[in-house]
């Protein structure tokens, strides 16, 4: 695939500001630039278990997601959860009705496991990638089991936006049950996730590290399994105070409970219910299902900022994200 660069001037949140955004294709990787600075690279090489973003850079070019296992030589890096590759989307149990699959090594998984990468895990394979505008990449994905049996089709659209005080990556996901009716299993292992830089993680006990949500809660115990429009991790990396937030669009038909951990995981999960153990879903058994031929559209954001959630104006950035999503609000 030949290198391709397209640029366009886009309005930032302030009408008086303008930013130049470009997407550059380099083989099976797409790099997103804002005013000439790399913001992130999206990797979709054919041998991957699933596509992922890395690096992800806050203002000041500060890396805010973990490098392992992409870079195994970083000093003092944690080496748990090898499947936590910076930022990604998938789910831990996708069940196609009437389709015979290679069993997962996890006895709790009824369909294909796209999360853990344990023996017999599924794969999300990118079959096409193209730029459709200066700031947008559109990809076609096939979700399949370890033997290559197709389970569903996906269109994933990724765009970069200049927002006051930060950088916003928007990911639109359209899942289509092209093979069989689908059930998204009740597991905490999902779905739109980032693994933050180790120096941001609460478990490192750094003085500026914070995990907060849009409801004003802070810390893992108060956030894990609860509903919120957004969650934000912030702290100090290489002497710079920075943060990364994940946004759950109000237009999403199934809002996320948050699989957020003190060791650095921040994941919006729209599929987990009572079995997942989420307090906000206690007693719920209504699993997300798609009839054959139906589509499910989801939209998430990654907001990169300086300072904590207040200095970085995360709440204001979420409003801009919701405006871009054309969303009035939808909680289920």
pLDDT in tens, 148-192: 999 999 999 999 999 988 999 999 999 999 999 999 999 999 999
Measure CA 62 to chain center: 19
**Residue 155 backbone phi and psi in degrees, to 5:** -110, 125
β-pairing, 62-63 vs 94-96, is: unpaired
Beta carbons within 8 Å of 152's beta carbon, 6+ residues apart? 94, 96, 142, 143, 175, 176, 177, 178, 179, 182
Residue 104 per-residue DSSP state: P
CA 16 to chain centre: 31
The whole-angstrom separation of Cα 110 and Cα 115 is 13
Strands 52-58 and 37-43: antiparallel
User: For 288, left (φ over 0), alpha (ψ -120 to 50), or beta?
Assistant: beta
* Domains contained in the chain, CATH given: 4-325 (2.70.98)
Is the Cβ–Cβ distance between 22 and 134 less than 8 Å? yes
Per-residue pLDDT of the chain (332 residues; tens, 9 = 90+): 333 333 333 333 332 247 899 999 999 999 999 999 999 999 999 999 999 999 999 999 999 999 999 998 888 889 999 899 999 999 999 999 999 999 998 989 999 999 998 899 999 999 999 999 999 999 999 999 999 999 999 999 999 999 988 999 999 999 999 999 999 999 999 999 999 999 999 999 999 999 999 999 999 999 999 999 999 999 999 999 999 999 999 999 999 999 999 999 999 999 999 999 999 999 999 999 999 999 999 999 999 999 999 999 999 999 999 998 775 344 34
CA atoms of 326 and 319, how far apart (whole Å) = 10
pLDDT tens figures, 192-213: 999 999 999 999 999 999 999 9
Token reading at 67? 């490098």
């Amino acid at each position: 695939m030949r290198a391709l660069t397209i640029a366009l001037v886009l309005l930032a949140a302030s009408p008086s500001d303008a930013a130049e955004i470009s997407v550059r294709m380099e083989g099976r990787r797409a790099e997103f630039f804002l005013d000439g600075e790399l913001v992130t690279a999206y990797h979709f090489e054919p041998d991957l278990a699933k596509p992922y973003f890395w690096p992800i850079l806050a203002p000041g070019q500060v890396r805010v997601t973990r490098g392992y296992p992409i870079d195994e030589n970083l000093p003092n890096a944690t080496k748990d959860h090898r499947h936590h590759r910076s930022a990604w989307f998938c789910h831990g149990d996708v069940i196609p009705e009437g389709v015979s699959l290679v069993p997962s090594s996890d006895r709790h998984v009824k369909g294909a496991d796209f999360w853990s990468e344990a023996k017999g895990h599924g794969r999300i394979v990118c079959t096409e990638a193209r730029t459709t505008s200066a700031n947008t990449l559109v990809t076609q994905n096939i979700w399949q089991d370890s033997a290559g049996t197709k389970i569903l089709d996906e269109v994933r659209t990724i765009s970069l936006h200049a927002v006051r005080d930060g950088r916003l990556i928007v990911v639109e996901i359209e899942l289509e049950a092209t093979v069989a009716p689908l059930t998204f299993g009740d597991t905490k292992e999902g779905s739109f996730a980032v693994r933050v830089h180790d120096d941001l993680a609460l478990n490192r006990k750094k003085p500026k590290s914070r995990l907060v949500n849009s409801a004003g809660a802070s810390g893992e115990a108060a956030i894990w399994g609860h509903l919120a429009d957004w969650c934000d991790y912030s702290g100090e990396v290489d002497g710079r105070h920075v943060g990364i937030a994940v946004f759950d669009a109000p237009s999403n038909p199934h809002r996320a409970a948050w699989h957020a951990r003190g060791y650095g995981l921040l994941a919006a999960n729209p599929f987990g219910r009572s079995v997942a153990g989420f307090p906000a879903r206690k007693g719920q058994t209504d699993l997300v299902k798609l009839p054959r031929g139906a589509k499910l559209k989801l939209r998430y954001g990654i907001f990169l900022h300086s300072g904590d959630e207040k200095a970085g104006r995360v709440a204001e950035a979420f409003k801009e994200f919701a405006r871009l999503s054309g969303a009035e609000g939808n909680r289920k």
